[in-house]
């Protein structure tokens, strides 16, 4: 069974500010993640358990971080953004949200 997406507030805040064509691409990436939860690159260390799906849009590389809870059948969408400071900000956010 494919996981159902559930977004963290940070993900929703960022997505809301994106231009409409990029939002549609993000939605397409979320569909891919739900169909193939292991598609993203697994992280290690402080971000163990987090996967990151990389995709390009108009020549810019974007990263979409997510967690998959197999038992609940849910893909938690954590954050989206460009590469600069993405992992640092994600670690900080996850520490704050517990």
Query: Is there a domain that residue 16 lies in?
Result: yes
Query: Is there a domain that residue 63 lies in?
Result: yes
- Centre a 10 Å sphere on the Cβ of residue 73 and count the other Cβ atoms it contains: 13
Query: Is there a domain that residue 89 lies in?
Result: no
- How far apart CA 48 and CA 50 sit, in angstroms, is 6
List of residues 6+ apart from 87 with CB closer than 8 A: 43, 47
Q: What does the pLDDT profile of the chain (98 residues) look like in tens digits?
A: 678 889 999 999 999 999 999 999 999 999 999 999 999 999 999 999 999 999 999 999 999 999 999 899 899 999 999 999 999 999 999 999 86
Q: Do residues 51 and 59 touch, judged by C-beta distance below 8 A?
A: no
Total domains, the chain: 1
Query: Is there a domain that residue 24 lies in?
Result: yes
Q: What is the pLDDT of residue 14?
A: 94
Query: Is there a domain that residue 91 lies in?
Result: no
Q: Say which CATH number the domain at 71 has.
A: 3.30.2310.20
Query: Is there a domain that residue 17 lies in?
Result: yes
Q: What is the pLDDT of residue 4?
A: 85
Q: What is the pLDDT of residue 2?
A: 75
Query: Is there a domain that residue 68 lies in?
Result: yes
pTM attached to this predicted model = 0.92
- How far apart CA 10 and CA 28 sit, in angstroms, is 19
Q: What is the pLDDT of residue 98?
A: 66
- The whole-angstrom distance between residue 2's C-alpha and the CA centroid of its chain comes to 16
Which residue's entry shows tokens 């990151």? 52
Beta bridge partners of 65: 52, 79
Query: Is there a domain that residue 65 lies in?
Result: yes
Domain of 35 in residue numbering reads as 4-46+56-83
């Amino acid at each position: 069974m494919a996981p159902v997406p559930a977004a963290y507030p940070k993900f929703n805040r960022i997505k809301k500010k994106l231009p409409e064509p990029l939002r549609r691409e993000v939605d397409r990436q979320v569909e891919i993640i739900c169909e193939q939860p292991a598609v993203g690159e697994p992280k290690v260390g402080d971000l163990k358990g987090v996967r990151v799906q990389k995709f390009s849009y108009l020549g810019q590389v974007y990263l979409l971080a997510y967690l998959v809870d197999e038992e609940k059948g849910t893909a938690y969408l954590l954050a989206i953004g460009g590469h600069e400071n993405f992992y640092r900000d994600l670690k900080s956010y996850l520490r704050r949200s517990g």
